[in-house]
Structure 1
């Protein structure tokens, strides 16, 4: 009888343990961060075909990474979510949740690519073992993405531009070649983005850059002379490396940089699923906010581009109507320099997360044209972006320095206030 009760109690314990589980776990399955990396790359690839494509692309990249982050942390609760966490079983698959969240979001942002996205979705899910955990993860991911989509409705990304060009005069921006006859700004170049709702910082107005220097100041005259020398198409003083800097950074955008560098750092540090998702989402939000803030600041000051100042002349600098920049000047205002502001926001976000010390081995960034450039630190990367906009002939040095300082402030806010570790 004693042995019978022993056996009965043992059986009851096994049954009780089994009842606590939705189904036996597949112990052969090893969780990785691959789902986040794959859909981060999918987001990277879906760039609209338009001038200024980096602007809406930054919104798409932020949407995708926030959705994945919230889906994963609705299950794991390691970090605070952007929105309210979705109710989820603790056994739900966070990988399936990330895949479902990214797919849901990208289909809504790119309905014209649904067939392609559906095929990738099927392939991604097929890599995970079928189980109730997977099914629950899919539900959580779709719910998290749907909630995020609704919460950002009316973010003003679809507003009509209301920008009114100021009266042309010295120091004031006006359209430049080769865009002068194309009317790209404000309509095609999305001037209304200055009013889009930010992702992390309180508002673009609170992060507006200080005014540009007076065109009669020594600082401005110095900067104008520098870009006139180094940024000319036919410059005789620009070095080969300075030329390469301008060419290298021209096709790189902040969302592309956020994904490239974020993924490299995740690999270097061996980050798991949750930490990879958080690194990429913070970099993406910093990039998206920096673009909004940059456009807001540009429209506040309407500062002229080097090509205009050089062609027309400025106090202390003689006019040179024949001058041409090494690279085409973008069709919007000069100050503050956008690329340094946005790249600094991304680089300094990662510096806050991983440290600002020099890298043990250089971090190699590749641009969309296949060019590569190595950097020994995040600061060196930012400094090179500032240089590249001068040697490209499109920005003054002070505009790049101020933009980079603003990017640092954005990074400090994003890393200090968004998606913080929980107490769990």
Structure 2
């Protein structure tokens, strides 16, 4: 009888116990969100945020690929990181991958030390789940080894040289971007095009169509673009206001109260899409290995899309709607959203959202419905979307409703993002990457 009970116990444990990948996948989204929260604290600008996400995930992706032959290693399709010689044995690669996300962030993000608390919480959770201290220690050693190597590779991508470059000075002339109220902040990351891409060949590989030529002539195409932003802004519906606010994604918005300026920290466009990636991965019930792969590829797409977009922004250097409208139509007019501190063309959210939507559609499928709760912490409700492309289209048009972009910057930005996404997917497919579901 005792033997029968022992057999049944062992049988039930082997049949009903969750595989390691399923047991640990619940820690992935919190780990990425911890990185997001540190970047919100540091007010990391959108292009830089995409870079931090990318390196935090690439190391974890590499660890997983070394141990799961179904996952294609990043070193097979990018030169951003190099292979790491892992000396430790008998470690749990999934624990190592999770810890590596936090460890890489700890090293490369300015206030990365804040992630040490999240590392401690992860260790406590792992011990409670039955993982031995010895296995955890070995896994942490691997994570630290890989994170250190990834950080070293990241230091060669041009980021550390940005502060040594000439300070940006706005061009003179009505056609060019100039700092806008209320902060009159100088141009963000004017030299971002010098950052080494992850998947595309160069910053100038996807130069978009030329923007409509600036003109004050009331019969010109540009004047009509400006008039559209002005008229839309004056006649916004409640739904349009909500959509604009939902996709605001301004890392640092300044509100004025009398003579006092009050700053509000928010999530970046990349942070919003990384959270959507986590939501979608959980809904698809991806195991940890595939979940890390999907997050890594989305982050890399974000990074390259920002590099391409910022290359164009400081090439065309186009003036923002707020400046034009105040000069030509109404000196008191203000956009619903605060005008970002960099040139207008092309629309960043349009470029990166469209590119990422293509990557997610390939990995998780078209018509993938999801509930987005990203903005709940900013007191906005949960939203339902029918597909990643639908969400990206809404993110793009939100810039018109918000009064911060002309229509051609949005539509040509979407075209630019689609071209980037298509190129990236062809490269990934050639390397052997397959859909996650």
TM-score range, shorter chain: 0.7 to 0.9
Cα gap change, 1:99/1:228 in structure 2, threshold over 3 Å: closer, same or farther? same
Q: CA deviation at 1:49?
A: 4.0
- CA offset at residue 132 of structure 1? 6.3
Partner residue, 2:206: 207
**Is residue 75–residue 88 contact of structure 1 (8 Å, CA) maintained in 2?**
no
Of 149, 174, 178, the match for 1:174: 178
**1:309 paired to 2:324:** yes
Equivalent residue for 1:364?
Answer: 372
Runs (5+) with no aligned partner, structure 1: 1-25, 314-318
Deviation at residue 350 of structure 1 after TM alignment: 0.5
1:266 aligns with 2:281: yes
Deviations 1:43-77 (A, max 9, x none): 22211545553333222211111111111112223
SS at match of 1:374: strand
Aligned partner of 2:8 in structure 1 is none
Counterparts of residues 308-327 of structure 1 (less than 5 Å): 308-313=323-328, 319-327=329-337
Q: Which has the higher mean CA deviation after the structures are superposed, 165-174 or 403-412?
A: 165-174
TM-score normalised by length of structure 1: 0.81
Q: Deviations over 1:114-148 (max 9, x none)?
A: 54244234325424521765555334333322222
Q: Give 2:63's aligned residue.
A: 71
Matched, 1:349 2:359: yes
1:10-409 paired onto structure 2 within 5 Å: 30-31=19-20, 32=22, 33-49=25-41, 53-82=45-74, 83-84=82-83, 86-87=85-86, 92-109=91-108, 110-113=111-114, 115-126=116-127, 127=129, 129-130=131-132, 134-158=136-160, 159-160=162-163, 161-162=165-166, 164-180=168-184, 184-186=185-187, 189-216=188-215, 219-231=221-233, 235=234, 237-251=235-249, 252-313=267-328, 319-356=329-366, 358-359=367-368, 361=369, 363-367=371-375, 368-371=377-380, 372-409=382-419
Deviation at 1:337, TM superposition (A): 0.7
Residue 402 of structure 2 is aligned to residue 410 of structure 1: no
**Distance in 2 between the 1:210 and 1:414 partners?**
20
CA change 1:173–1:132 in 2 (3 A) is same
Deviation at 1:88, TM superposition (A): 7.1
Residue deviations 1:228-257 (CA, integer Å, cap 9, x gap):
1112xxx2x211101111111113533222
Residues 35 and 102 of structure 2 are in contact (CA less than 8 Å); yes or no, is this contact kept in structure 1?
A: no
Partners of 1:301 and 1:194 lie apart in 2 by 13
Cα gap change, 1:219/1:88 in structure 2, threshold over 3 Å: closer, same or farther?
A: farther
Distance between the aligned counterparts of 1:43 and 1:378, measured in 2?
Answer: 23
Q: TM-score, normalised by structure 2?
A: 0.79
With over 3 angstroms needed to count, the CA separation of the structure-2 counterparts of 1:176 and 1:422, relative to structure 1, is closer
Pair 1:422–1:59, CA change in 2 (3 A): closer
Question: Unaligned stretches of 5+ in structure 2?
Answer: 1-12, 75-81, 250-266
Alignment check: 8 A CA contact 1:282 1:414 kept: no
Once residues 92 and 117 of structure 1 are traced to their aligned partners in structure 2, the CA distance between those partners, rounded to angstroms, is 20
Offset of 1:410 from its aligned partner? Answer: 2.2
Distance 2:411 2:349 in 1: 11
Structure 1 vs Structure 2 CA RMSD: 2.8
Deviates more, 1:291-300 or 1:126-135: 126-135
How big is the shift at 1:166? 4.8
Q: Distance in 2 between matches of 1:169 and 1:346?
A: 35
Q: How many Å apart are 1:29 and its aligned residue?
A: 6.7
> How many angstroms apart in 1 are the aligned matches of 2:221 and 2:147?
48
1-structure distance, mates of 2:415, 2:87:
41
Count of residues in Structure 1 that have an aligned counterpart in Structure 2: 382
Determine which structure has more spread, i.e. the larger CA radius of gyration.
Answer: 1
1:169-206 CA distance string (max 9 Å, x none) = 232211221233xxx323xx332323222222122121
Contact 2:298 2:356 in 1 (8 A): yes
Q: Distance in 1 between matches of 2:415 and 2:156?
A: 30
